[in-house]
Amino acid sequence: MTILDFKTARERASHAGVPYRGPATGTAPDRSQPAASPPTAAFWLVAGVLFLSLAAASAPAPLYGVYQAQFRFSAATLTAIFAVYALVVLITLLVFGSLSDYLGRRPVIMATLAVNIGACALFLTAQGVGQLFAARVLQGIAVGVATGALGAALIDLQPKRGGLAPVVNTGATIFGLAAGALGASGLVQYGPAPTHLVWWLLLGAFSVAIAGILVMPESATRRPGALASLRPTVKVPPRARGTFAVAVPCLQAAWALAGLYLSLGPSLAAQVLASPNRVWGGLVVFLLTGIGAAATVLFRRLAPPTAMVAGCLVLLTGAAVTFAAIATMSAAAFLSGTAVAGVGFGLAFLGAFRTLSAMADPSERAALIAAIFTVNYLAFGIPALVAGVAVTHFGLHHTALVYLGVTAALAAAAAGSMMVRRHSAGQRAQARSR
């Protein structure tokens, strides 16, 4: 095999989703590094770190009510604490999203774990609203930097069975959100030291994760251009831009609904379910995100375009049922609608992520994944911030109804545009075959 043949084969393997097993230059690995864990073990370690990072990011959701009672702040301040996280994630994605394509995955992941430890320490010592904002800023930085690095590392390290990385990436992201919210709500309701125990546990878990990442094999080649990559930008490879534009409405609908549940979901659950038990707040977040994570596994064999269309339609159905449940204050319908919407959330996110992640070369992976999550967090944070302001003027009940109506309209528009596009593509294909 010639050098040209080898490069061509490697490029084809990259586009097919086969894991990248070495530096692009073909140089020997650096023997000065610590003894590396096997690639399969490293793959699941990275998945665990992704899960842990998102669990920590969603853990404050059921704690907001406790902090609000302790520090006496308004509903608008509550949603601002939530929204500052999403805003910082966005800024960090734009600046640092592709950094691991230049410095390597491992040092970037290590840095994010250290920042997460700092966030846990701030939550543990919080004496007022200022420290809550600071802790959420650190969490936003950690998740923003880690998103591209962890997502790209999963694709780099995935086992020989092609296609596993997108499923694990979406599943770990969504299930991390679910587990963090539900676990924290259980600890708040039934455990000692409700505003401290969860952060001690997470601090210990992040410390263990650092030890694991120290022996993880480096899956990307260091290359020049790290400083230039810090210019704020959304980097989408030219060949992926058309597909990216199609996937954007799908991602917006899914993550806008997630923003409602992660910011106002616990308060909404307390109102509709008429219960002071804080576990309900974590449970409704878990129903959306946990069922969404399960859907990414159960329906992983669906073709990505089919998953996107089906996800938007199911999301539309779930939002409609939830809308009716809130309007009639029906607890059973509220939980059922949330569960249905969770299936749609998982399918829509999986379909979009699989479609796009397959279109990046190894040197572009972190940048493209950062672009995907930039769209996600725009949809996740901005509507939730607007809703938080609206709650102070129109109340939670009416704000939630309008929010769900807008989300349902987004899902319908996304599904409609994709079906029209698929129909047009089918007609063009038939015309060419004649």
Relative orientation angle of helices 279-298 and 331-357, to the nearest 10 degrees: 40
Higher pLDDT, 327 or 420: 327
Burial class (CB within 10 angstroms; exposed 0-12, middle 13-18, buried 19+) of 245: exposed
Please, what sign has the CA dihedral across residues 331, 335, 340, 342?
Answer: positive
Distance CA 370, CA 360 (A): 12
Q: Is the residue at 21 inside a domain?
A: no
What pLDDT score was predicted for residue 161?
A: 62
Residue 327, pLDDT score: 94
- The domain that holds 211 is classified in CATH as 1.20.1250.20
The DSSP letter of residue 161 is S
Predicted local confidence at residue 107, as pLDDT: 93
- Predicted model pTM: 0.75
In a domain, 402, yes or no: yes
Tell me what pLDDT residue 216 has: 87
Establish if 7 belongs to a structural domain: no
User: Is residue 284 a part of any domain in this protein?
Assistant: yes
Three-state helix/strand/coil letters over 246-290? HHHHHHHHHHHHHHHHHHHHHHHHHHHHCCCCCHHHHHHHHHHHH
More confident residue, 218 or 347: 347
Residue span of the structural domain in which 70 resides: 37-219+236-425
Q: Residue 2 has what pLDDT?
A: 36
Report if residue 226 sits inside a domain: no
Rg of the chain over Cα atoms, rounded to whole angstroms, equals: 21
Q: 94-98, 179-183, 230-234: lowest mean pLDDT where? A: 230-234
Whether 341 is covered by a domain: the verdict is yes
Question: Collapsing DSSP states into helix, strand and coil, what is residue 223?
Answer: coil
Contact 279, 186 (CB under 8 A): yes
Is residue 49 predicted with pLDDT exceeding 50?
Answer: yes
The SS3 assignment for 25 reads: coil
Q: Count up the domains in the chain and report the number.
A: 1
pLDDT over 90 for what percent of the chain? 37
Question: Does the structure show a pLDDT above 70 at 204?
Answer: yes
Whether 29 maps to a domain, the answer reads no
pLDDT value for 37: 56
Q: Residue ranges of the alpha helices (H) in 299-364?
A: 304-328, 331-357
pLDDT 10s digits, 10-36 = 444 444 344 444 444 333 444 444 445
Is residue 372 in some structural domain? yes
For 145-175, the pLDDT digits (tens) are: 998 899 889 988 887 766 788 888 888 988 8
On the question of pLDDT at 9 being above 80, the answer is no
What is the structure's pLDDT at 423?
Answer: 72
Please name the amino acid found at residue 233: T
